[in-house]
Chain A
């Protein structure tokens, strides 16, 4: 719809660090890459559990409407979030799922990486799965470099967890690099239909 906007939605359940991941992404894109960014979120009154989503809109022009209109990228950290937030996906968008927790995929334009499993193996803490996912986003989102993401992460996380989170971030980026994006269909709309 609006080609100058790049819209990312991160979703999961409360407590998975979805909002922190979105803030780091926004900071990387806004402060370190110099784009205009808007980061918004919605969550229920629960402290943990419950659906949670956070959105980041990135653009080279000032951003008026601060929320997602059509997603260029959706991160789903569990099945419930994947089901709930897939609805306004762009035909050429990219779905990024934690394959440890998401089994049913609603589209073929999907990158499935076991974020939670990688987090357990690399840092011994499943809670760093959000940073693993962020590392994958750094590789897959054309507007943010891994280096900017690292700089933003260093400032946003508590000092004593910095190394652990950085390790998780790098593991995520590495896992994403191993994916062959060219093998994905270009659009989820079949070629014939698109031409009509």
Chain B
């Protein structure tokens, strides 16, 4: 990683930019188990964290990795883990624990072909709905997708900020293409990165209720060892953090989980629009595929076709407002994905069969090319 001191422009892989983003956001703990195509995140974290006073642990597996991350976060340290499909499957149990205990943490899943060990060195987008619903039980969660090296930096900072602000685990979905593509990026200096930290209690320890509701639905969070009593459990709990089965308390707890995320929709649901102002046909894409889609849209415009691109950064909570407005504006919407159609299910759900939807699915372990999208746009 060479750097030109004057410009601070460097050539980084997507995985390396995720590390830079995490460190800029204040992450000082990483626990993980290396796996292709996410290993560079582990590697670089192990090199960088000790020098920053942080901690890197290589764990025995991915279950333990997320367990360690949850523990570190409860102790007040911003924490990250990174994996790929097989490891992400193992993490689902502890992911539920992070949800119910409202522990801020960020989990990077660099998607590869699956299921199981699948295609270790090939890109895919098969884990989208797993990220949303992989852990059991009714729960809100935030899932974001990255498409470029600069995205990897900014979305990771954002993921940490959302995670801290709403006390919710945030999943970053990357893929093999983004992870291993090198691009130049001008790294922001630490002073210019907006960093959000969790709210800590400002009441005396004897008054502190770790899971008490408030207007935001996000209770202040004391770090373990700060002198505040703080009971953490995977059982549904009351305001004190102790298990409860009283229907009123259970309902209030679960509703608050959803309310805190719903309150933040405007901030959490992020999209990018390209040539959408007068678009009559739109491509809705996310991750690396949105880059192929952008090329296809630019070429279609050169042919006089009024095409546009809606790129989803946040996949869940599903950015319904932006998608519905694209659906209402356009005659046709095309959805290219490196899976059998996971986000297209969501789009069809909110479309209610009013706008024509074309799917384009590639499941052979290869990246979708601009030509494939362009040809379909041309046919419409």
Structural contact, B291 and A65, CB atoms closer than 8 A: yes
Contacts of A184 in B (CB 8 A): none
Q: How far is the CA of A31 from the CA of B186 in the complex (A)?
A: 10
Asked if A39 meets B11 with Cβ closer than 8 Å, knowing A23-B182, A64-B298, the reply is: yes
A156's closest neighbor in chain B, by CB? B2
Q: How far is the CA of A32 from the CA of B10 in the complex (A)?
A: 10
Structural contact, B295 and A39, CB atoms closer than 8 A: no
Structural contact, A152 and B370, CB atoms closer than 8 A: no
Rounded to whole Å, the gap between the CB of A101 and the closest CB of chain B is 25
Contacts of A124 in B (CB 8 A): none
Q: A76 contacts the other chain (Cβ, under 8 Å)?
A: no
Q: B177 contacts the other chain (Cβ, under 8 Å)?
A: yes
Q: A40 contacts the other chain (Cβ, under 8 Å)?
A: yes
Structural contact, A31 and B4, CB atoms closer than 8 A: yes
Among candidates A30, A40, A67, residue contacting B11 with C-beta atoms closer than 8 Å: A30
Q: Which residues of chain B (1-18) have a CB below 8 Å from chain A?
A: 2, 4, 7, 9-11
Tally of contacts, chain A with chain B, CB under 8 A: 69
Structural contact, A65 and B180, CB atoms closer than 8 A: no
Q: Which residues of chain A (38-79) have a CB below 8 Å from chain B?
A: 38-45, 63-67, 69
Q: How far is the CA of A170 from the CA of B135 in the complex (A)?
A: 57
Among candidates B2, B10, B182, residue contacting A38 with C-beta atoms closer than 8 Å: B182
Structural contact, B2 and A152, CB atoms closer than 8 A: yes
Contacts of A138 in B (CB 8 A): none
Q: A171 contacts the other chain (Cβ, under 8 Å)?
A: no
Rounded to whole Å, the gap between the CB of B142 and the closest CB of chain A is 26
Structural contact, A64 and B2, CB atoms closer than 8 A: no
Q: How far is the CA of A156 from the CA of B2 in the complex (A)?
A: 7
Structural contact, B11 and A43, CB atoms closer than 8 A: no
Contact pattern, A 10-39, Cβ under 8 Å of B = 1, otherwise 0: 000000000000010011001110001111
Structural contact, A37 and B367, CB atoms closer than 8 A: no
Q: How far is the CA of A171 from the CA of B94 in the complex (A)?
A: 57
Asked if A27 meets B11 with Cβ closer than 8 Å, knowing A36-B184, A65-B294, the reply is: yes
Structural contact, A31 and B291, CB atoms closer than 8 A: no
A154's closest neighbor in chain B, by CB? B2
Point out residues on B near A: beta carbons under 8 Å.
2, 4, 7, 9-11, 120-121, 148, 177, 180-184, 288, 291-292, 294-295, 298, 367, 369-371
Point out residues on A near B: beta carbons under 8 Å.
2, 23, 26-27, 30-32, 36-45, 63-67, 69, 152, 155-156
| The 10 residue pairs across chains A and B that have the minimum distance between CB atoms | A155-B2, A39-B182, A64-B294, A30-B184, A65-B295, A40-B181, A64-B291, A64-B295, A66-B181, A27-B11
**17 more A-B contacts (CB under 8 A) besides A38-B182, A41-B180, A66-B288?**
A26-B182, A31-B184, A37-B11, A39-B182, A43-B121, A45-B120, A63-B183, A64-B295, A64-B298, A65-B292, A65-B294, A65-B295, A66-B148, A67-B367, A69-B369, A152-B2, A155-B2
